[in-house]
Amino acid sequence: MATRAIHAIEDETSRNRIVDDSLVSLFEKAARSHADRVAVVCGPQQATYSELDRASNQMARRLVAASGDRRGIVAIYLDRSIEMIAAMLGVLKSGSAYLPIDPGYPSARVLQTLEDATPLVVITNRKLASILEKTASQIILADELPSLDPIVPEPLPVRPKADDLAYVMFTSGSTGKPKGVLVSHHNVVRLLSETETWFHFNETDVWTMFHSFAFDFSVWEIWGPLTTGGKLVIVPFATSRSPEDFYALLSEQKVTVLNQTPSAFSLLNQLEESGTALPLSLRVVIFGGEALQYHSLRNWFRRHGDIKPQLVNMYGITETTVHVTYRIVREADTQGEQDSLIGVPIPDLQIHLLNAELLPVPDGEVGEICVGGGGVAHGYLNRPELTAERFVPDPFGPPGAKMYRSGDLARRRPDGELVYLGRGDNQVKINGFRIELGEIEAAISDFPGVRQVCVIGHTTDDGRQALAAYFVTEGGKPTAGDMSRFLSQRLPAQMMPSFYIQMETIPLTGNGKVDRAALPKPTTGSASATADERQATSSSPLQARIAQVWRDVLKASQVGLDDNFFDIGGTSILLAAVRSQLQEQLNRSIPVTWMFEFTTVRSLADKLVETSGSPARPSATLTAAQEQARRQREAFARLRTTKGVAR
């Protein structure tokens, strides 16, 4: 792994010159050196560096003519295509910043973005233009530009500078209104320069643009190859949703650099595990966008080893230009590593773990991730109050420096590595307890065979707050009881999910992240009990007493002997109420673990009869995992209840 010392001994003149470049100058340098090499591929179409250079020059001239001498924001509303890449380059060459708008967005979202950004021009095509009738911006149709002139025209009149804006990337906002992040050429160029020692990207590399160009991961995917002479393979949207087709594309195009969210990569991993085997040329796989569950890579490493391809985990933030940290993932990490390790900062970035007063927290304590250095963006478009709230003076940097308050939580280990702990506001409240969903997801990930997991807060039909766990396994179908027994050894009662939904796959958004809104609503009916079984009478007084307590606590008219408590609307808190009432009525102690292990009336009654001669008392000792979870929750609570914490 590279260190600051490596960068300190570099030639400063050369380093400063590279960082002071614009994306345009880096692309043009690559185009001069590799004029006849293929720059972009999209389906059956391709363009060389020379052709892409000329096409983008043509777009730049058209933009200058359309906007006069004004430089500002130009929206690009195009499908994934070579024309889209040429438009992005053309916007930069005209001195403006591009605003990517995904055609897959609902029209209301498109128009809202245009209204907020008020771009000088919108670049689109005839197919999409009808949606833009209400915009006041001038429209350029990319598919109506004349064919390329074979004669190389004179140089462009505009030369963007390093501090000029390169793009405006809109992200979702906590208030429901998207916000545009303002990112400069310098922000992106220094990302490529500062990570070069680690990756050594060059003209032999083949990259994929898998993600939407309206997702900041695409900035890395697009400009990584186009500034180093590599080849960019644009992945059609339909192919990106089909693991089989995407895997075949990776093999056919001999892709060497793959960027994936962990959720998307897990689909490729599952595909290989099922028997698909095509030759791959990958030399590096870079994860970002979501917390990486290291154990999910065990099968991948078993097949491929951990040298080629090399797997890298990079935590990132749109407001600090795509990537913030770097960590090589080794096979050994998947065997015992439980933390979501994100490594160390990119050399020109500084990560401070701070409390609400922006004071450093000690190593091992939970703090908010605040990022300073060359990747910090200019702020939010037309949102001065939000910019002032999140982009604050950096007390640890030079005069005038800013740092970004991310709202993400982490702790620093003694070895300097950062452990990502999720969003500070990724919480639900269950019976007065603040619950961090990421902590539950991490515990479920340790269940044998679980490949993917997502936990959400759910409001039941009667208004109660509950937790629902969705998961994908590599084989078998664990019951709610199986999962409950497993988690009862790792989580306190208030963090136990009420619903366990096994799925064939977890739905993903267009950006490859978990689509929580698309998850099916949990149901409270038992999937295994028929109507007759639910009305079955108890065969013993003990079963009758347990069933009555269940009915009272669940407010249910009927309970079957073999209904699973969690399948008919039970929660861990309600189970605690059942246990309390039974202990009082039976005048004996019942270990809490039994309540999670024997989750039907019949099985619990049988266990109580079996042990009636030697009643056990609940253990007062917390397991190590439960104690760690308790300390972490307390730290989260302190951070979130301190005045001024970022939301």
Count of H-run helices and E-run strands, the chain = 24, 26
Helices within 424-561 (DSSP H only): 437-445, 480-487, 531-534, 541-554
With tokens 């591929």, the residue in question is: 41
pLDDT at 572: 53
For 366-438, list the strands marked E by DSSP. Answer: 367-373, 379-380, 391-393, 402-412, 418-423, 427-430, 433-436
Q: How far apart (Å, rounded) are the C-alpha atoms in residues 452 and 506?
A: 7
pLDDT at 383: 94
Structure confidence by residue, pLDDT tens digits, 429-470:
565 454 667 778 888 888 888 988 998 887 766 556 678 899
pLDDT at 464: 65
Cα Rg of the chain, angstroms: 28
Q: How far apart (Å, rounded) are the C-alpha atoms in residues 167 and 493?
A: 47
- Report which of 536, 594, 590 is spatially closest to residue 563, judged by C-alpha positions: 536
- Contact yes or no for 511/211 (Cβ under 8 A): yes
Domains of the chain: 11-147+157-193 (3.40.50.12780), 424-518 (3.30.300.30), 531-610 (1.10.1200.10)
* Most confidently modeled range among 54-63, 522-531, 580-589: 54-63
Q: Which of 94-98, 208-212, 497-501, 612-616 has the least mean pLDDT?
A: 612-616
What pLDDT band is residue 614 in, cutting at 50, 70 and 90?
very low
What pLDDT band is residue 538 in, cutting at 50, 70 and 90?
low
Structure confidence by residue, pLDDT tens digits, 82-118:
999 999 999 999 999 999 999 988 787 888 899 999 9
pLDDT at 366: 94
Residues near 570 by Cβ (< 8 Å), separated by ≥ 6? 498, 550, 553, 554, 578, 599
Q: How far apart (Å, rounded) are the C-alpha atoms in residues 103 and 108?
A: 11
Helices within 362-519 (DSSP H only): 384-390, 437-445, 480-487
What pLDDT band is residue 331 in, cutting at 50, 70 and 90?
very high
What pLDDT band is residue 338 in, cutting at 50, 70 and 90?
low
- Contact yes or no for 35/227 (Cβ under 8 A): no
Residue of higher predicted confidence among 105 and 78: 78
Q: Residues 318-336: what's their mean pLDDT?
A: 93
Q: How far apart (Å, rounded) are the C-alpha atoms in residues 240 and 254?
A: 16
> In Å, how far from its chain's centre is CA 98?
23
Residue of higher predicted confidence among 296 and 361: 361
Q: How far apart (Å, rounded) are the C-alpha atoms in residues 140 and 125?
A: 8
Residue of higher predicted confidence among 645 and 282: 282
DSSP state letter for 38: E
Percent of the chain with pLDDT over 70: 81
Residue 321 has pLDDT above 90, yes or no: yes
Q: How far apart (Å, rounded) are the C-alpha atoms in residues 46 and 521?
A: 44
What pLDDT band is residue 192 in, cutting at 50, 70 and 90?
very high
Peptide bond into 309 cis (omega under 30): yes
- Report which of 125, 44, 119, 120 is spatially closest to residue 77, judged by C-alpha positions: 125
**What average pLDDT does the chain have?**
82
pLDDT at 615: 39
Chain length of the chain: 647
Q: How far apart (Å, rounded) are the C-alpha atoms in residues 415 and 82?
A: 45
pLDDT at 240: 86
Q: Which two tokens stand for residue 188?
A: 């992106």
Orientation angle between helical segments 23-33 and 185-194, nearest 10 degrees: 60
Residue of higher predicted confidence among 646 and 409: 409
Q: Which amino acid is at 552?
A: D
SS3 405: strand
Q: How far apart (Å, rounded) are the C-alpha atoms in residues 12 and 210?
A: 35
Structure confidence by residue, pLDDT tens digits, 221-258:
999 999 999 999 999 988 887 888 899 999 999 999 99
pLDDT at 537: 54
Residues near 175 by Cβ (< 8 Å), separated by ≥ 6? none
- Contact yes or no for 123/76 (Cβ under 8 A): yes
Q: How far apart (Å, rounded) are the C-alpha atoms in residues 250 and 243?
A: 10
- Contact yes or no for 23/189 (Cβ under 8 A): yes
Q: How far apart (Å, rounded) are the C-alpha atoms in residues 642 and 633?
A: 14
Q: Which two tokens stand for residue 330?
A: 């080794």
Q: How far apart (Å, rounded) are the C-alpha atoms in residues 602 and 546?
A: 9
pLDDT at 441: 86
SS3 275: coil
pLDDT at 476: 75
Q: Which two tokens stand for residue 225?
A: 């190859």
Residue of higher predicted confidence among 620 and 501: 501
Q: How far apart (Å, rounded) are the C-alpha atoms in residues 96 and 90?
A: 9
> Which value, to the nearest 10 degrees, does the dihedral of the CA atoms of residues 35, 37, 43, 45 take?
40
Structure confidence by residue, pLDDT tens digits, 7-52:
332 333 334 445 568 999 999 999 999 999 999 999 999 999 999 9
